[in-house]
Amino acid sequence: MHLSKLNIWNFRKYGTKGTGGKEPGLSVEFKKGLNVLIGENDSGKTAVIDAIRYALNTKSYETIHFDQKDFFKPKGKARTNTFEIECIFCELETNEAANFLEWAHFNEHNKYELRVHLKATLHTNNRITFDIKAGPENADMQMDGNARELLKVTYLKPLRDAEQELTPGYRSRLAQILLSHKNFQKNKDEKGEYKSHEFEDIIKEANDKIKTELSDRNKILIDINKYLEKFLHNQDERRATLEIAPPELQRILRSLSLEIDENPSGLGSLNKLFMAAELLHLGADQYNGLKLCLIEELEAHLHPQAQLRVIKALQNIKNTQVILTTHSTTLGASIPLKHAILCHDKEVYPLWEGKTKLEEQNYKFLERFLDATKANLFFARGVILVEGDAENILIPTIADLIGKPLHKHGVSIVNVGSTTFLHYAKIFMRNDGTELEIPVAVVTDLDVRAMEYYTDHQDKKKEVYVLTEDLKLDKHDISALYGNAYQSKEEIKEAIRSHIEEKRLPNGVGQAVDSIEPQDLNGELIENLRKTRRKRLERKFNDGYVQVFCSKKWTLEYDVALSETLRKYMAEAIVKASEIKKRRTYEVIPNEDGLNTVVDDICRGSDNLKIAYDIFKPFTQDNAPSKAVTAQLLAEKLRNNESTFVTQDENGKETFLLRNDEYLKYIVDAIDHTCDNQGIGNE
């Protein structure tokens, strides 16, 4: 039996949906085992956890205290006066079902399920009443206390002050945890009366010993009582005693303290200790009860390594459903994606099979390569996926220079380090009819070399294949592909497969493609190749809020070199970077004059394509300069010349020069896409 669905109406920031407010403001699905709610602050993670524990109560008897603020307040309208929480459990084993016979029902798929429903009402005098019922909709009824007991959850609250909670005293959390443990339940004797707990006997015995010690040998008590007697009324027969603790179980437990070390430990260790204590309940669970554990902010006070150990340990707890919230990138990177639920803008998006367009191979890939630096995509309001360090360094600079600082817009750049964007992009492509309103920009190079490259490198193959009307398919129309140029026969085959949406080519088509004669490259065909390549990328990536942005011609560096405003900065950066590479040190930079002459030499002339290629040339040769270093130098240069790119008129209105650059347009567009298309958010 596990919690399979949670529905919330008018609770905290979640209102209702649909006409007449019938639909829940939030509906979350959970799966067996581990569920990780991941997302930025205020994305509603805590509301989900609180809703569950309000409806089901916790094993350590957290006091539930509803607040006026738990009732949703629509903007500009009065606070709603009821909220509802609905929990649905499914896959009840026979022995579990037996406990809930009176309330469980068969759903429309003829599966036995249990629905628990909490409704709280806010009265005019701010009094709040609530009742919890179970049963099918419209026919639910009060649940027996003993049955409700079986539905209690284990709850680990975010620990703000571990020391306080674990030290002995009236507020001792430890006592609360222990008291509800099976081993501290009192047993009945043969007359059906409660027997005293062994602890109580031990303390009683100790008290007696101390009493004898103090009164018989030390006479202390006798002395105290001597004075006391004088102070008291004649008929007052009370006398003082000295005790460790009164022999009542609860008082004894409150005086216990849990320690890991004789010296005071750090908050982290205390926290781990505390978690271990809380998890006691899971092991000592009642026979047929619900095994559900809620953990809020697992990462609190724990360093990344410790977080990993804790999450691994949690994954190994058998037969228990764990629902935890986190905003740690370490956890984001280490939990299996199939167990993650992304929280964004009052909505939740499970990332498991069937919910996104991720397939088995994508899950496998992401398991290998999604690390903590990339996991910040879970917490972003917009994501730019880039293929290398150069974009990673340059894009924030460009964003600043067009007046859209990324951090202000909550946009993360994720450096994929290769062109395997699709795996990451699919995280954001939904397959369950919902729309994840996180704009994702895939920024990539078009990667079609310039003609000059082939003139320069005579040994490179200069062949290109053009698909013509000669190739016809029986059942499919591929006229959209006619006239497209491809760099290899394989590319043609792939294009056809993707166009007809089949995994295999129809019979005979493979041979037909193989017989296409190659043509010699020329400028026109290269543009054709670029057009085809661009279409292919768009077809592959564009989906909902995911969009691809690719350079116009070849790579970022080549394209910037084509730009008349930016080419000299790029030329300078590349020359410097080459120099650094050659001398293997960052310190030796050629004097400004010498550098300028080299740069001027390269940039001279009127043939744009030739100049661009000359600037870019070092990258095509052996011992090529580092693209990252080049990007860094370029970024520095751009920032130093900020006044050139950002100008203000007398009204303080800013004009951004980089916006007009046709070769940088794809990056500007990517930034605009991620910064401007963020969901409407807090209406």
Residues that bind other proteins (CB under 8 A): 94-95, 97-99, 101-102, 104-106, 110, 112, 135-139, 141, 144-147, 150, 188, 190-192, 286-289
Task: Please name the helix (run of DSSP H) or strand (run of DSSP E) that holds residue 442, with its range, or none.
Answer: strand 440-444
Q: Smallest distance, Å, CB 292 to other proteins?
A: 17
Q: Smallest distance, Å, CB 104 to other proteins?
A: 8
Q: H helices of 213-303, where?
A: 220-231, 249-254, 267-278, 280-283
Q: H helices of 346-420, where?
A: 360-369, 389-401, 406-409
Residue type, 560: V
Which residue from 487, 631, 627, 609 is spatially nearest to 559, judged by alpha carbons? 609
Task: Please name the helix (run of DSSP H) or strand (run of DSSP E) that holds residue 666, with its range, or none.
Answer: helix 665-676
Q: Smallest distance, Å, CB 109 to other proteins?
A: 13
- Neighbouring-strand partners of residue 26: 8
278: left (phi over 0), alpha (psi -120 to 50) or beta: alpha
Q: Which residue has the tokens 């520095």?
A: 636
Nearer to other proteins, 143 or 634 (CB): 143
Q: Smallest distance, Å, CB 86 to other proteins?
A: 16
Q: What is the 3-state secondary structure (H, E, C) of 533-568?
A: HHHHHHHHHCECCEEEEECCCCCHHHHHHHCCCCHH
Nearer to other proteins, 106 or 482 (CB): 106
Nearer to other proteins, 144 or 463 (CB): 144
Nearer to other proteins, 103 or 465 (CB): 103
Cα separation of 8 and 23, whole Å? 9
Nearer to other proteins, 97 or 505 (CB): 97
Nearer to other proteins, 221 or 282 (CB): 282
Torsional sign, CA 155, 161, 165, 166 = positive
Q: Smallest distance, Å, CB 144 to other proteins?
A: 4
Q: Smallest distance, Å, CB 98 to other proteins?
A: 3
Nearer to other proteins, 99 or 563 (CB): 99
Q: Smallest distance, Å, CB 194 to other proteins?
A: 11
**Interhelix angle for 608-616 vs 592-603, to 10°?**
140
Q: Smallest distance, Å, CB 201 to other proteins?
A: 20
Q: Smallest distance, Å, CB 294 to other proteins?
A: 23
Residue type, 250: Q
Nearer to other proteins, 108 or 649 (CB): 108
Nearer to other proteins, 150 or 448 (CB): 150
Nearer to other proteins, 139 or 680 (CB): 139
Which residue from 185, 198, 187 is spatially nearest to 281, judged by alpha carbons? 185
* C-beta of residue 632 within 8 angstroms of C-beta of residue 389: no
Nearer to other proteins, 88 or 525 (CB): 88
Q: Smallest distance, Å, CB 286 to other proteins?
A: 7
Task: Please name the helix (run of DSSP H) or strand (run of DSSP E) that holds residue 24, with its range, or none.
Answer: strand 23-24
Q: Smallest distance, Å, CB 149 to other proteins?
A: 9
* C-beta of residue 428 within 8 angstroms of C-beta of residue 546: yes
Q: Smallest distance, Å, CB 205 to other proteins?
A: 25
Cα 211 to Cα 216, 330, 524: the distances in Å are: 8, 56, 105
Nearer to other proteins, 99 or 551 (CB): 99
Instruction: Kindly state the tokens that stand for 91.
Output: 């896959």
Cα separation of 552 and 541, whole Å? 17
Nearer to other proteins, 78 or 101 (CB): 101
Residue type, 198: E
Nearer to other proteins, 43 or 99 (CB): 99
Sequence-distant (≥ 6) Cβ neighbours of residue 367 within 8 angstroms: 336, 337
* C-beta of residue 117 within 8 angstroms of C-beta of residue 132: yes
Nearer to other proteins, 192 or 652 (CB): 192
Cα separation of 70 and 67, whole Å? 5
Residue 143 gets which letter from DSSP?
Answer: P
Instruction: Kindly state the tokens that stand for 524.
Output: 């026109």
Cα separation of 27 and 16, whole Å? 10
Q: Smallest distance, Å, CB 484 to other proteins?
A: 58
Q: Smallest distance, Å, CB 102 to other proteins?
A: 6
Count of all residues that appear for the chain in the document: 683
- Neighbouring-strand partners of residue 441: 384, 547
Burial of 156 (0-12, 13-18, 19+ CB in 10 A): buried
Q: Smallest distance, Å, CB 282 to other proteins?
A: 17
Sequence-distant (≥ 6) Cβ neighbours of residue 501 within 8 angstroms: none
Q: Smallest distance, Å, CB 281 to other proteins?
A: 17
Nearer to other proteins, 138 or 479 (CB): 138
Which residue from 100, 111, 99, 110 is spatially nearest to 135, judged by alpha carbons? 100
Q: Produce one character per residue of 396-405: b if its CB has 16 or more CB atoms within 10 Å, e if not.
A: bbbbbbbebe
Q: Which residue has the tokens 């367009």?
A: 357
